[in-house]
A and B are shown apart, each in its own frame.
Chain A
Amino acid sequence: MRRLRALAALATVTALSGATLTACGGGTSTGGEGSNASPKTLTYWASNQGPNIAADKKILTPELKKFEQQTGIEVKLEVIPWSDLLNRILAATTSGQGPDVLNIGNTWSSSLQATGALLPWDAKNFKAIGGKDRFVDAALGSTGTEGKDPAAVPLYSLSYALYYNKAMFKEAGISKPPATWDDLVTVGKKLSKDGKWALGAEGSNLVNNIHQAFALGKQHGADFFDAQGRPTFTSDGAVSAVKQYVDFMAKDKIIAPGNAEYAQNQSLRDFAQGKTAMVLWQAAATTFEAQGMKPDDWGVAPVPVVSGKPGAERQVNSMVAGINLAVFKNTDNLDGARKFVKFMTSDAEQAHLNKAYGSIPPVTAAQKDAAFDRADTAVLRDTLRKSAAPLPQVPNESQFETSVGTAIKKLFADAAAGRPVTTESVKSELSKAQQQMPKS
């Protein structure tokens, strides 16, 4: 009897701890090329672009209805928060049970392309949506590994800009936004006083950390990956870039230590409440307005560079941010999915949707709309045109976001706790991150 009881208990342990293992189980669906078995419906996973999911539904639903009227295809919409999106895509990839059309972060293009789950956009598919040359080159640079057919089509484009609080600048006697990093630190020291701080950051947001480190990395001549796609996280340029970013808190003391634990856009809230004077962000206007700021309260300038003049190579000041539209290869409405992509990337829809989200159309013709000449969108558009570079399009890109993003998070935690952040400590964290990258 006792043995039986022990056996039962052991079985329970197996069951309980088996949960960890179970989580690793996956389907074996290989899913062939798509079909047209279900031509009347499409499932669309949209990423959360607006201030919240309800806002996205409100923006997208009338457009989807329009599409239904044109084609007779009903689109089932699901808006997915950013924090869940990659996991959901991964689960859909493994099980073969996913949407027909979906939004992906453009930096994931190459990683997701490697899974083989996404429909390649070859010449024929591009022709079905009006041709490749309708799109801006920089945006096409973030659609998959170089030399392969893109895994997705650009939908919304974004870039980083420096948002600054006009009143706080005026009060500190500063007449114009900083154009170089040296300026930013000088101005920052004037602004950081009386419980107010110069610059906002999201120290625990891995992806944001990567975006900042990447642009600074470009300015230090570092790419984080070599031409063969191998990680080079510990190159002098990469170390200097990461150190420069963390030093804004550790050495220059122009970022509040509390920002080390921010990961939910709290830095935007602080900016809107006048607690910080500047943030480096992609298209923040709608969020600021939603938090009670008036468009005249803030100014927009290009992200600082070393020389003060953004453009080409070392004067890169932003990653090419944006959202791509992809089709799951095993869709059972292949023609419908192509039609939907064509609809969403049409000139009219591009102008309409990008206006609604405050982003820039990756379709050249749609950029001509006057809405994109507004002060803030003009800065984003010019940055995209002149001084933005795509994140490395390598299959391990998503792991890079996590491992280096985590390293920067740890360094920010050190800075916040008053521990020294040195070239050695930065290099050591980046080296650990590099060694945790999977072989490929």
Chain B
Amino acid sequence: MTTLTTPPPPSKERAAPPDGKRPARLRLPARLRRVSLPYLLLLPALLLELVVHLIPMGVGIVMSFKELTQFFIRDWGAAPWTGLDNYELSVDFDAPVGEALLHSFFVTVAFTVLSVGLCWLIGTAAAVFMQEHFRGRGLLRAVFLIPYALPVYAAVITWSFMFQRDTGLINHVLHDQLGLTDSRPFWLIGDNSFVALLTVSVWKGWPFAFLIVMAGLQNIPKEQYEAAAIDGAGMWQQVRRITLPSLRPVNQVLVLVLFLWTFNDFNTPYVLFGKSAPEAADLISIHIYQSSFVTWNFGTGSAMSVLLLLFLLLVTAGYLLVTSRGRKSADV
């Protein structure tokens, strides 16, 4: 790779007018190279993104306008167009398909809010707690990260064993040892399945929050706490006035990522409940999977996926708008 022969002084470059007028002293090829280099470097990633995500996504969108059943999966291009039928079916909330989708949407929203909230709360509390130096801190930190390090399938299968009504550990402790329940409750069917799902999700998700918040905490200068302590601020005041505001940028990303992961989580409900989740824990990802792959109604499944994508884009855009506005006012 050639290097620039006459690099322009940085100050001049920065002073270049935004209308794109070229500084007179920069020669064209060098300038071109300079401008195109980042794009060239990005090109492999862009191509990969195109192949891995964007093209299949485009295909998915096309499929959502087709009547794609087992008759056409071998050659989906030949499936007849159905216009907006798949979308109408998905959002007709008076008919069973739409009603079930809406139900699973609400279940997913409730599940996501609770799971992300709890993950964040537990992760932050643990990270703040771990800031103190004490014996065995390193070991405890490693133990905290175990759920994050375990393979998801193995961990969730173990949970599903523990949640078994008659032979599981959970009921053994709750009912047999502590006597907290009158009878052995079901965890994998019926209404309690939501609690079971939430438990596994939080168990699996909080170490990530812990890790990120801990990294964020390392960046807060100790002097701020010392100064606050001298001014007489207690532990809680320090957390409220120093820790949380300093963690704001970290939390902004953390909550968004946790939200997306949790909202789209497929592995946990699939391993816990199999192909057909109980109504109370019917997350949208598994619901769409069932609509596409279990009932072989790929067109409708694709339409539901597109609707989900639109929803997530909308929520994320709104979230970014609100949080960046907040930061703007904080910057002033």
Contact = CB atoms under 8 A, between A and B. Distances in A.
Interface of A: 2, 5-6, 9-10, 12-26, 28-31, 83, 87, 90, 93-94, 96, 111-112, 114-117, 203-204, 206, 258, 260-261, 263, 395, 398-399, 402-403, 405-406, 409-410, 412-413, 416-417, 431-432, 435-440
A94 B59 CA distance: 14
Contact of B70 (A31, A395, A406, A432): A395
A90 B57 contact: no
**6 closest Cβ pairs, A-B complex:** A21-B60, A25-B56, A413-B189, A22-B56, A435-B96, A438-B297
Q: Name the residue in A20, A112, A260, A412 with the highest tally of chain B Cβ atoms < 10 Å from its Cβ.
A: A20
A439 B174 CA distance: 47
B40 to A, nearest CB: 19
A17 B316 CA distance: 11
Contacts of A261: 164-165, 186, 188-189
Contact of A204 (B74, B274, B292): B274
A127 B298 CA distance: 37
B16 interface: no
B302 to A, nearest CB: 5
A402 B290 contact: yes
Contacts of A395: 70-71
13 contacts: A17-B264, A17-B309, A20-B309, A114-B70, A204-B188, A204-B274, A258-B166, A258-B184, A395-B71, A399-B296, A413-B186, A417-B186, A439-B67
Contacts of A405: 276
B305 A20 contact: yes
Contacts of A90: 73, 293, 296
Contacts of A2: 324
B51 to A, nearest CB: 11
A395 B288 CA distance: 21
Contact of A6 (B53, B56, B320): B320
Given A10-B316, A409-B276, A435-B97, A18 B74 contact: no
A260 B185 CA distance: 12
Contacts of B324: 2, 5-6
B295 A437 contact: yes
B240 to A, nearest CB: 27
B264 A16 contact: yes
Interface in B285-304: 285, 288-290, 292-298, 300-302
B295 A21 contact: no
Interface residues of B, number: 66
From B53, B100, B279, name the one whose CB has the most chain A CB atoms within 10 angstroms.
Answer: B53
Contacts of B298: 24, 26
Contact of B57 (A14, A26, A260, A263): A14
B76 interface: yes
B63 A24 contact: yes
A96 B214 CA distance: 48
Interface in B144-173: 164-166
A116 B61 contact: no
B60 A15 contact: no
Nearest to B312: A17
Given A16-B260, A28-B75, A23 B289 contact: yes
A436 B165 contact: no
A206 B276 contact: yes
A22 B57 contact: yes
A399 B295 contact: yes
B49 interface: yes
B71 A260 contact: no
Interface string B304-332: 01101100110011001100100000000
A438 to B, nearest CB: 4
B58 to A, nearest CB: 9
Contacts of B59: 24-26
B77 interface: yes
Contacts of A116: 71, 74
Contacts of B49: 15
Nearest to B284: A20
A10 B313 contact: yes
A285 to B, nearest CB: 24
